[in-house]
């Protein structure tokens, strides 16, 4: 599956749905972002059940501000409408695979319970 571009208009609709959404906050002038892109694309083909999305931080500055993205690339993972991971840095393929497996293994009822308790 190819990656999709997210905008301020489409972000919530995509990220608040069921399932896993991985989001790459990037910019065309960012060397690490450009080097990470082929890895991200490769995994998007491998994991067809996951939505792989990208946010161009230059074009979508409002989204960058909303999620306090201060360093790019930043990878964010949303599962069933809940942000479960957000870290800056270009990841090696094996590391991103590991993160995907951890996200798949999450007990979302437990995650929601912990969020409610912390709230």
**Residues forming the active site:** 30, 33
Question: Residue 69: is it exposed, middle or buried by C-beta count within 10 angstroms (0-12/13-18/19+)?
Answer: buried
Residue 102, both tokens: 């951890």
Cis omega (within 30 of 0) for bond into 69 = no
């Amino acid at each position: 599956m190819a990656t999709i571009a997210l905008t301020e208009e489409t972000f919530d609709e995509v990220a608040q749905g069921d399932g896993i959404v991985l989001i790459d906050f990037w910019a065309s002038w960012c060397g690490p972002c450009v080097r990470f892109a082929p890895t991200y694309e490769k995994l998007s083909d491998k994991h067809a059940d996951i939505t792989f999305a990208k946010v161009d931080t230059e074009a979508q500055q409002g989204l960058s501000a909303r999620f306090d993205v201060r360093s790019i690339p930043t990878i964010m993972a949303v599962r069933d409408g809940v942000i479960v991971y957000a870290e800056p840095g270009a990841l090696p393929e094996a590391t991103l695979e590991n993160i995907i497996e951890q996200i798949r293994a999450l007990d979302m009822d437990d995650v929601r319970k912990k969020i409610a308790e912390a709230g």
